[in-house]
A = this chain, B = another copy of it.
Amino acid sequence: MLIDGLQYCNWSEKIFREWRASNITAVHVTISYHEQFRETVSNFEKWNNWFEKFPDLIMPAYYAQDVENAKTLNKTAVIFGFQNPSPIEDDIGLVEILHRLGGRFMQLSYNNQSLLATGCYEANDPGITRMGKEVIKEMNRVGMVVDMSHSSERSTFEAMEISKRPIVISHANPSFWHPAKRNKSNEILLKLSETNGFLGFSLYPHHLNNGSNCKLEDFCTMIAKTADLMGVDHIGFGSDLCQDQPDSIVEWMRVGKWTKKIDYGEGSASNPGFPEMPNWFRDNRDWHNILQGLKKIGFNDEEVKKIKGENWLNFFKKSFTPISK
């Protein structure tokens, strides 16, 4: 079972067919970046339309069981998440509403300070806010996973301490391999593993050693080293794939609605667009290359099965249901 823990593509029938051709069983899809609640609902409407139009290719997944059903039905299960807490605005009651609509992951902050936590581009990180503590408790209750992919160090540590359920870093790599602002320290990765959390390995070139020129073997060796650090049960993929997106979208991801200037994020004025993907992972057609790379580097079949999807499925099983009384 192949599962990708994060994509933000320019969705189309073409991509849905590539999902099927790659035999990908589930994808955590970013449904909102900086959209507020009503805009997020419009995004759910758009997906409802696709589910109605392509019932043989895709289906929504609310619980782990739906992912298993998708496997049986030869469809790709779509699991929704938010890269920013914008969809809940300043209203904690929207956590349960959005969980009911299908939201299963929410980043407590994107690159900036949010109402809940600090992003990895802020100069100062005061940690999880008062509202942040309440929202983590509510996310734990209803079964929405805390995602700290874009958050900064202290906030991430505090989130792991406050949350009663395991959290994720759905799309990032270890900074021991490539010291990008978005990659994570060994201390965070160890604590993540100790708390039964989860790391999804990113394939976004700015998170890769040597960027677009990163070698497959280098990527797979990094996975092996991370497995040594965290254990092989807490890792999987979170490709951060932005297939078929125009460069205006990477600007939207970075700038959202918070500034009238251009913010280049991980890019630069001379390199403002989407970076080119490595030639061994152009897009959803190339998952087989990575799986072969893992075998070649020495992972056995059992381990590859875990990393490619079983670990995510197990994480979904314990994470998406409400805590019952």
On whether A41 and B94 interact (CB within 8 A), knowing A55-B325, A325-B55, the answer reads: yes
Stretch in A44-52, A110-118, A209-217, A294-302 with 4+ CB within 8 Å of B: A44-52
Asked if A91 CB lies within 8 Å of chain B CBs, one says yes
Residues of B within 8 A of A101 (CB): 97, 100-101
Asked if A246 CB lies within 8 Å of chain B CBs, one says no
Give the contact-size bracket for chain A. Answer: 10 to 19
Pair B325/A45 contact, Cβ less than 8 Å: no
Residues of B within 8 A of A41 (CB): 37, 94, 97
Docked complex: A29-86 residues within 8 A CB-CB of B: 37-38, 41-42, 44-46, 48-49, 55
Asked if A96 CB lies within 8 Å of chain B CBs, one says yes
**Which residue of chain B lies nearest to A41 when distances are taken between CB atoms in the complex?**
B97
Residues of B within 8 A of A100 (CB): 100-102
**Which residue of chain B lies nearest to A100 when distances are taken between CB atoms in the complex?**
B101
The smallest C-beta distance from A25 to any residue of chain B, in angstroms, reads 20
Asked if A231 CB lies within 8 Å of chain B CBs, one says no
Asked if A179 CB lies within 8 Å of chain B CBs, one says no
Pair B325/A42 contact, Cβ less than 8 Å: no
Contact with B along A92-110 (1 / 0, CB 8 A): 0110110011100000000
Given A38-B38, A97-B101, 19 more pairs with CB closer than 8 A: A37-B38, A41-B94, A41-B97, A42-B93, A44-B97, A45-B91, A45-B93, A45-B94, A45-B96, A46-B93, A48-B93, A48-B96, A48-B97, A49-B93, A55-B325, A100-B100, A100-B101, A100-B102, A101-B101
A residues with a Cβ closer than 8 A to B are 37-38, 41-42, 44-46, 48-49, 55, 91, 93-94, 96-97, 100-102, 325
Can you list 23 A-B pairs with a CB-CB distance of less than 8 A? A37-B38, A37-B41, A38-B38, A41-B94, A41-B97, A42-B93, A44-B97, A45-B91, A45-B93, A45-B94, A45-B96, A45-B97, A46-B93, A48-B93, A48-B96, A48-B97, A49-B93, A55-B325, A97-B101, A100-B100, A100-B101, A100-B102, A101-B101
